[in-house]
Amino acid sequence: MRIDSHVHVWNIARGDYGWLAPTPVLSPIYRDFGLEDLRPALTAAGIGAAVLVQAAPAIAETRFLLDVARNSGGLVRGVVGWADLGAPGVAPILEELAANRLLKSVRPMLQDLEDRRWIAQPQVAIALRALAVLGLRFDALVTPRELPWLVETVRCHPDLAVVVDHCAKPDIGHAVWQPWAADIAALAADTSAYCKLSGLVTEAGAAWTIDDLRPYVDHIMACFGPQRIMWGSDWPVVTLAASYDDWLMTSDALLGGLTPAEREAIFGGNAARFYGLDA
């Protein structure tokens, strides 16, 4: 079964999406998005399940997503929620959230934090160990700025299942290669982390071409291999630069040299295995 490993829904009235504002860039997605908006694209693409990912740094957001997942009729097989991993009292909250089988992972929004070394704090290390004990994973929302500290941290937590969202957001729009390429290679070589093939068209900009994306995707493939990469749409954010179908077809073309088994892994099997999704 094909799985979209990275989708969002949101309700503007909830009021905790600090990054989402009616600016010229973001105004096309400054409205409510629900699963009913996504289902036609999934059906057309032959995608039978999705992982729902947080878009606000709030426990209320996690509970909101778990409710959406529970009422999705089996479409949402897992939720990536949020918790303040730097808070001294986070352990009981993690235990409570982990009791819901739909919660699969936790994602602090590292890219939005002023301190690029936040992930390396001792208090956060305690929370990361708790995630591993509870059977939860860690989604890393980072840019190249935070990537070196993520590499060092993941090395220290070999029991924690980690996936890097959006290939760590390389600056494709300005054709920046280093230090992103070296840090991604180090993460792949020194840890068991996975990588999401997602978010690249928005990093490339509205005028992107497949040739703009190709060297970055080729590098991810060379570093992680087809068994540690999972495809995601990043819907509806992806619609700022491409339609759902455009990104899917582009991904198909960029992965054209793979075997059917390798493609099946990237487009579903790896996400199911990493997140422990129910059949």
Question: pLDDT tens, 9-62?
Answer: 999 999 999 999 999 999 999 999 999 999 999 999 999 999 999 999 999 999
Residue 185: band (very low, low, confident or very high) from pLDDT cuts 50, 70, 90: very high
**Residue 100: predicted pLDDT:** 97
**Residue 15: predicted pLDDT:** 94
Q: Is 175 left (phi over 0), alpha (psi -120 to 50) or beta?
A: left
Q: Mean pLDDT, to the nearest integer, of 89-108?
A: 96
User: Hey, how many other C-beta atoms are within 10 angstroms of the C-beta on 211?
Assistant: 7
Question: Is 84's pLDDT higher than 70?
Answer: yes
Residue 246: band (very low, low, confident or very high) from pLDDT cuts 50, 70, 90: very high
Omega into 236 within 30° of 0, i.e. cis?
yes
Cα distances from 111 to residues 68, 118, 193, in angstroms, run: 25, 10, 18
Cα distances from 247 to residues 34, 155, 237, 240, in angstroms, run: 20, 32, 12, 11
Question: pLDDT tens, 118-135?
Answer: 999 999 999 999 999 999
Q: What pairs with residue 80 in β-bridges?
A: 53, 105
DSSP string, 167-191: GG---GGGT--TTHHHHHHHHHHHS
CA-derived radius of gyration, the chain: 17
Residue 59 CA to residue 182 CA, distance in Å, equals 34
| Residue 201, domain extent | 2-275
Residue 112: band (very low, low, confident or very high) from pLDDT cuts 50, 70, 90: confident
**Residue 261: predicted pLDDT:** 97
**Residue 279: predicted pLDDT:** 57
User: Can you list the positions of beta strands (E) in 208-261?
Assistant: 229-231
Residue whose structure tokens are 């982990």: 98
CATH number, residue 46: 3.20.20.140
Question: What strand order describes the sheet that includes 229-231?
Answer: 2-7, 47-53, 76-81, 103-106, 137-140, 162-164, 194-197, 229-231
The number of folded domains in the chain is 1
Give the chain's mean pLDDT: 96
Beta strand 2-7 with 103-106 is unpaired
Residue whose structure tokens are 């409570």: 96
Q: What percent of the chain has pLDDT over 90?
A: 97
